[in-house]
Amino acid sequence: MAYHGTPRRVVVTGMGAVTPIGLSVADFWTSALAGKSGIAPITHFDTANYETKFAGELKGFDPLSYMDRKLAQRVDQFTQYAMAAAEQAVTDAGIDFEKTDKERAGVVFGSGIGGFKTFQTQTGNMVERKSPDRISPFFIPMMIPDIAAGRLSIKYGLKGPNYATVSACATASHAIGDAMMLIQRGMADVMMCGGSEAGICEMGIGGFNALKALSTRNDAPEKASRPFDKDRDGFVMGEGGGVLILEELEHAKARGAKIYAELAGIGFTGDAHHITEPAPNGEGAQRSMRMALKDAGLRPEEVDYVNAHGTSTYYNDKYETAAIKAVFGEHAPKLAVNSTKSMVGHLLGAAGVVGAIATVMSIVSNEVHPTINYETPDPECDLYYVPNKSEKRTVNAAICNAFGFGGHNATLAFKRYSA
């Protein structure tokens, strides 16, 4: 890393999440340990003409639990999800921003696509009426991916660093890593970070179908997301969001905050290879993981668990496996490797933060959730993927991977906190 000062330690003190298997971190984690699938037939729109008819939708989410009706109508769903997860995380952290230096508290929060549904709806309005006067005055501020970060900053009065990351499926992990660096460098003491996505709409499903990226296992949607399984046939779209509250260690201790874990290292790399396919043998992923381990001061054999990107696509699962084997060597078969996406689907810009929450909860509880739907071993994917049933396992150090279209790679390294 270019910064040569002494970096300040960064810890996780709050978490919030809305996911297809739970609308809180507690419910998400209970469902994850139980191996519950959140994948079901799509209800958001009529799928009669679509190759894929299922996804990981949020069940029972009510934005009015987090905002008034007027605001709910003026923000896209991805921002609703962000605000819900943020409120949970702030409550969980027990932080009173009225007693915090707001100029030293900020937000880095991203979305891979932003207001996709808003864009689709407003475009339809204009085309149907053949007139731009049918476009809502809220169209632009509802659609732009940075607006969730802006809304969170406004709601809590946070005047420190405030921006969005956009790196496809690595978005939330980049947001978390950036927030960590801002704290390390002394530019902030508290950061709200993560990502959200709401892309289950006609254009979202239709677009990924056109790319031939989605599973079409319509006869058994709950079994469609099957990372590392030989019979995988594409990823499953999910929606939702997650937020971490990161704090500088001394700031957290001074206010008596509970500390979930330490965010000890990050690794960011680029494949420079292809717009959708990862580099052969996960070359970029290898460098990302090695960078995160070095940054965290971890030897490969000290890592207990890898929360894999694990998309249930042929090349990702094959090359991520190869990358883990290359980085961890003889230790690789001893790792617990799992994919949260087997249950929630692929939350795109929110995938990294949901994986990070699962990673932190594994450190807290010394349990790792299963990779469900693992039925037929693939000779090219030959690690231990915690098949179908959660297990007790001491987790003192873990990494969480997120890789995005465009060749974006991000790895977060967490440690059990010790003074």
Active-site positions read 169, 309, 346
Q: Dump the DSSP string for 204-265.
A: HHHHHHHTT-B---TT-GGGS--TTBTT---B-BB-EEEEEEEEEHHHHHHTT----EEEEE
Indicate the helix (H) or strand (E) that contains 31: helix 25-33
Per-residue exposure over 303-337, b if at least 16 CB sit within 10 Å of its own CB, e if not: bbbbbbbbbbbbebbbbbbbbbbbbbeebbeebbb
Query: Distance (Å, rounded) from C-alpha 302 to C-alpha 74?
Result: 48
Strands (E) across 352-404 are located at: 367-368, 391-392, 397-404
Q: Which two tokens stand for residue 80?
A: 């609703």
- Residue pair 346/379 in contact (Cβ under 8 Å)? The answer is no
Query: Distance (Å, rounded) from C-alpha 319 to C-alpha 127?
Result: 43
Phi, psi values for residue 275, rounded to 5°: -70, -30
**Pure H helices in 282-340:** 283-296, 314-328
Cα distances from 383 to residues 59, 120, 187, 228, 379, in angstroms, run 33, 41, 40, 9, 10
118: Cβ contacts below 8 Å, ≥ 6 apart: 76, 139, 142, 143
Per-residue exposure over 372-404, b if at least 16 CB sit within 10 Å of its own CB, e if not: bbbeeebeebebebbbeebeeeebbbbbbbbbb
Indicate the helix (H) or strand (E) that contains 28: helix 25-33
Residue 65 burial (CB count, 10 A): 10
Rama region for 60: left / alpha / beta (φ>0; ψ in -120 to 50; rest): left
- Give, as one character, the DSSP assignment of residue 57: -
